[in-house]
């Protein structure tokens, strides 16, 4: 009896997975693919101030794990 429940669960999960893959394929085919990375990101940040804030945030993450060199200060 437990095996039957397990089998049903696997079959249900497989059906859901197949539906999801089909939907992802449909979306992938329907969306235009830019020829290069620049086309993908162009216009993604609408104003310069936001862009500068994102750069600063990225820098802070980049340097967050680096030890500070107390001798150079």
Span 37-63, pLDDT tens digits: 777 777 777 788 888 898 999 999 888
Is pLDDT above 80 for 33? no
Give the whole-number percent of the chain exceeding pLDDT 90. Answer: 30
Average pLDDT for residues 18-35, to the nearest whole number? 88
pTM: 0.40
SS3 call for 52: helix
Is 45 in contact with 51 (CB distance < 8 Å)?
Answer: yes
Q: How confident is the model at residue 7 (pLDDT cuts 50, 70, 90)?
A: confident
Host H or E run for residue 19: helix 2-30
């Amino acid at each position: 009896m437990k095996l039957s429940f397990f089998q049903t669960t696997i079959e249900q999960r497989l059906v859901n997975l197949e539906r999801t893959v089909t939907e992802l394929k449909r979306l992938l085919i329907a969306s235009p693919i830019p020829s290069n990375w620049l086309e993908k990101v162009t216009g993604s940040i609408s104003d310069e101030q936001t862009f500068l804030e994102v750069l600063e945030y990225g820098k802070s993450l980049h340097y967050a794990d680096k030890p500070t060199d107390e001798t150079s200060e």
